[in-house]
């Protein structure tokens, strides 16, 4: 399934990105009530599940806040234009999701449901996108370049989730060797590779990569850590991509 994150925060659940399989992913993980979404960028594989947030808006009796940059809001408003028309024109009260927007920016941490979330500038080809650090865990998907200033914000991690598309170089995504170079520079205790294409074989990666670097799988769970960096590592290689 497409890459995304369900965060179980002290004051409720939120998601990072909303891919096309969002509903299936939330059902699988027994999510109860999504109270917000945080967006890395507005490509289709990261926003096309937004309509599946509609049930949560009605259960909350309020709009679900979407935390994103202004260009991402513009794209979401264009893609889901029906969600922002006059409710009086809708055929019934459940015809469109209830959404609102909250602006975020790189290096400006914000509080969300009892957690501090730090947006980090990343590059996806020529496109500026965001990664996010929560405590000592960071999620950086669709990356081709991590600016030097952003690398400083990714030091001291327990867990890094980093996208790797394939073995050969690609204009808008990291390939395996480039990702491994970044991992060596950042030195997280554990790294999970995500957003992989069919050209990367799960079992082969498990055999050839060091134990602290593992391919991610659907349903992977990562404990959030804060404060002093933990010594614990998860080196299991199980499940599926």
- What's the pLDDT score for residue 86? 86
Q: Is residue 222 part of a domain?
A: no
Q: Which residues pair with 162 in a beta bridge?
A: 140, 193
CA-to-CA separations, 93 to 24, 55, 89, 97, in angstroms, rounded: 24, 11, 10, 9
Q: Is residue 236 part of a domain?
A: no
Q: Is residue 175 part of a domain?
A: yes
Q: Is residue 232 part of a domain?
A: no
Do both 45 and 115 map to the same domain? no
User: Within 10 Å of residue 239's Cβ, how many Cβ atoms?
Assistant: 12
Domain boundary among 43, 69, 103: 103
**Is the pTM here over 0.85, yes or no?**
yes
Cβ burial, residue 8 (10 Å; 0-12/13-18/19+): middle
Dump pLDDT digits (tens) for 52-93: 999 999 999 999 999 999 999 999 999 999 999 988 888 888
Do both 4 and 85 map to the same domain? yes
Rounded to 5°, the CA angle 223-225-230 comes to 105
CATH code of residue 3: 3.60.15.10
Q: Is residue 225 part of a domain?
A: no
Dump pLDDT digits (tens) for 142-183: 999 999 999 999 999 999 999 999 999 999 999 999 999 999
Do both 45 and 135 map to the same domain? no
Do both 34 and 49 map to the same domain? yes
Do both 92 and 188 map to the same domain? no
Q: Is residue 224 part of a domain?
A: no
Looking at the 3D structure of the chain, how many domains does it have? 2
Domain boundary among 82, 103, 124: 103
- What's the pLDDT score for residue 119? 98
Do both 116 and 201 map to the same domain? yes
Q: Which domain holds residue 123?
A: 107-216
């Amino acid at each position: 399934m497409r890459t995304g994150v369900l965060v179980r925060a002290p004051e409720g659940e939120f998601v990072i990105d909303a891919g096309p399989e969002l509903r299936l992913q939330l059902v699988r993980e027994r999510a109860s009530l999504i109270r917000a979404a945080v967006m890395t960028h507005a490509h289709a594989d990261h926003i096309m599940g937004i309509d599946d947030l509609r049930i949560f808006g009605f259960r909350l009796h309020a709009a679900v806040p979407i935390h994103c940059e202004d260009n991402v809001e513009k794209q979401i408003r264009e893609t889901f234009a029906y969600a922002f028309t006059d409710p009086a024109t809708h055929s019934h009260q459940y015809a469109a999701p209830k959404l609102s927007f909250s602006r975020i920016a790189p290096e400006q941490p914000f509080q969300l449901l009892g957690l501090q979330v730090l947006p980090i500038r990343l590059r996806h080809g020529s496109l500026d996108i965001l990664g996010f650090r929560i405590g000592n865990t960071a999620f950086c998907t669709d990356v081709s370049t991590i600016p030097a200033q952003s690398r400083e914000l990714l030091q001291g991690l327990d867990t890094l989730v980093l996208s790797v598309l394939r073995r050969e170089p690609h204009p808008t995504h990291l390939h395996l060797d480039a990702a491994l170079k970044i991992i060596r520079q950042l030195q997280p205790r554990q790294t999970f590779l995500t957003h992989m294409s069919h050209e990367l074989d799960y079992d082969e990666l498990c055999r050839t990569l060091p134990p602290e670097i593992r391919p991610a799988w659907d349903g992977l769970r990562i404990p959030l850590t804060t404060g002093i960096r933990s010594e614990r590592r998860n080196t299991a290689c199980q499940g599926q991509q």
